[in-house]
Chain A
């Protein structure tokens, strides 16, 4: 996976490189820790899957893998947008509510056809994301607060549309829109294919376009980016709008899968998405991260959940302790590696 290395160089804190006076990757231990930071999640994922498949003969079955892929596709799309936001050094807490709102809008819109079912959530959630971005970029408010407000507002909008959440709009089971969530291609669900396509597209944008470079530059050092002539504000607005679009699309696909606009979805999803992105190697300080890592992070969260269910008799309280502890270990390891990289 050579793509990771390229992004890592891009994303390194400029201050560290300057004071050091030598190019990144000079020392062996630094190179090792950089490697571990990039692929730590992947290594953990492979180990976890190996252990799981040796321990449970029902783990590495086609059914189980397909289920895991399909049910994590929606979180993956949300985490895709989140990755862009976090690389710029921001955070988006509104995605869980937008995911739920997107689902409700899609289910409601599906009566007017697939186009409305897809475009309506994209338009509304994209617009809310755009407003988030404008508030963050133009008025300098903290992303945490701006997107928290959007999270509450979007949830309120959802409740208003659904009689306090008591009305669930259904998608006609035989409609083309429902097929988007239900059908499979070569044995893999359509949402999984859509997700993979979006990640490839996202990686190309992040790696190969000027916009992608701006995203890293803004997150690495905002002042330096501005001095170099990067459109800081426009970049920020774009990533929040993108995050809103992703959450809305994920919600719509999820509604097609569940054939209904379930109103109680998405609470806590923002934290899951942030966890996945961080596990995948993004630094919350911005400037560093890559999409393949995020995909691995999502998969890792899903595998942990699946393994806990494979055990099948773990007390529900301990299920959360296990997954929480796991996250804590990963994050601590990453910040430690990250700090080493800066100090060296």
Chain B
């Protein structure tokens, strides 16, 4: 009789384990359902709204050639390219980015190996090492974190594998540890978001920042650009709340819920990406606010956020173009043919406001 209780407890624990494991399995499925419209359309659209380089390569900035980096020339067509994606393909930026690289590889007939770190940095490190072991001749990396790349850089250097990083930087030496970085000017994005916010709020009142995930240059630069511009142009605008929403919608929503509780008089919210901004919209709706009560400015340019402008909830969206495929392969192609490529390839981003949101909704991803 006495051992019955432990046995029942045992069964409960077994069930718990099974539940834990099943939820691991289901995580992917749930994440995927987030966006059902983006994937297939992106490939076809990537040509029309592909990236434009803001600073032409070979221009003013430092360049990198194959002799300086080490390694040998090769024909991109016969090469294997490894692409390591950082975050789960649950947010439209990542979906569009991966789709763009796959589409461009298909167009050029290049063999592309892909891996996804599912937002786990340890996994990204071993992903890239797996890609190297699998025989990737060239690497395109979307880094989850800017530091901690030493093991990968050492393996790549030993085999003279050129690395191009997209959308975030690696803290290492360009043209020694990696070839080029292709991405937006995040400080400028922050500044433009600040301009938008100043215009929307009239430059007075209390505003909040939903910070991105910690530990990468995107968050720090988008924050710096925004704060500096606000300080310089609108001293009347006070940033009274800064908290991380990890670039995720749910987190953006819960942080905003706290924000509404603690600072009911908030006039504006700067979300460092669209997903957090959309979370903020959900929180404001839940709190019974009306569109326009709190001005929201976000960065990325996803379809849902631009739709948010049309609906009146979001005031402005600064674009951050994720379609890295054409530019990344073009850079690798030039580099492997022996031409010099720019170490920092900065792309030009547009913006959405209520003046162009409806017309340009098709350009959003």
Contact = CB atoms under 8 A, between A and B. Distances in A.
**Of listed B20, B119, B130, B171, residue having the most chain A CB within 10 A:** B130
Contacts of A262: 121, 145, 147-148, 215
A313 B22 contact: no
Interface string A303-334: 00110111011001111110111011001100
A221 B6 contact: yes
Contacts of A71: 122, 125-126, 129, 151
24 contacts: A58-B134, A64-B133, A67-B129, A67-B133, A164-B244, A166-B215, A258-B150, A262-B148, A262-B215, A264-B145, A274-B20, A278-B17, A313-B114, A316-B89, A316-B115, A317-B28, A317-B31, A317-B89, A319-B116, A320-B27, A323-B25, A324-B25, A324-B28, A327-B24
Given A67-B133, A264-B214, A320-B28, A305 B123 contact: yes
Given A257-B150, A258-B125, A264 B29 contact: no
A162 to B, nearest CB: 7
Contacts of A274: 17, 20
Name the prevailing secondary structure of the B interface residues: helix
Contacts of B123: 305
A268 interface: yes
A168 interface: yes
A275 interface: yes
B74 interface: no
A311 to B, nearest CB: 9
B118 interface: yes
Contacts of A168: 145-148, 171, 215
B32 A61 contact: no
A47 interface: no
Contacts of A302: 126
A260 B148 contact: yes
B88 A309 contact: no
A74 B134 CA distance: 23
Contacts, number: 177
Contacts of A306: 126, 130
Contact of A164 (B21, B119, B134, B214): B214
Contacts of A70: 151
Name the prevailing secondary structure of the A interface residues: helix
A332 B21 CA distance: 10
A285 B98 CA distance: 43
- Chain B: interface size category: 35 or more
- Chain A: interface size category: 35 or more
B134 A310 contact: yes
A318 B125 CA distance: 20
A310 B136 CA distance: 11
A218 to B, nearest CB: 12
A308 to B, nearest CB: 8
Nearest to B242: A164
A45 interface: no
Contacts of B32: 317
A151 to B, nearest CB: 15
A166 B122 contact: no
A159 B215 CA distance: 11
Q: Nearest 3 CB-CB pairs, A to B?
A: A324-B25, A165-B214, A316-B116
Contacts of B7: 15
Nearest to B25: A324
Contacts of B211: 164
A275 B24 CA distance: 10
B35 to A, nearest CB: 11
A293 to B, nearest CB: 15
Contacts of A323: 24-25
Interface in B233-265: 244
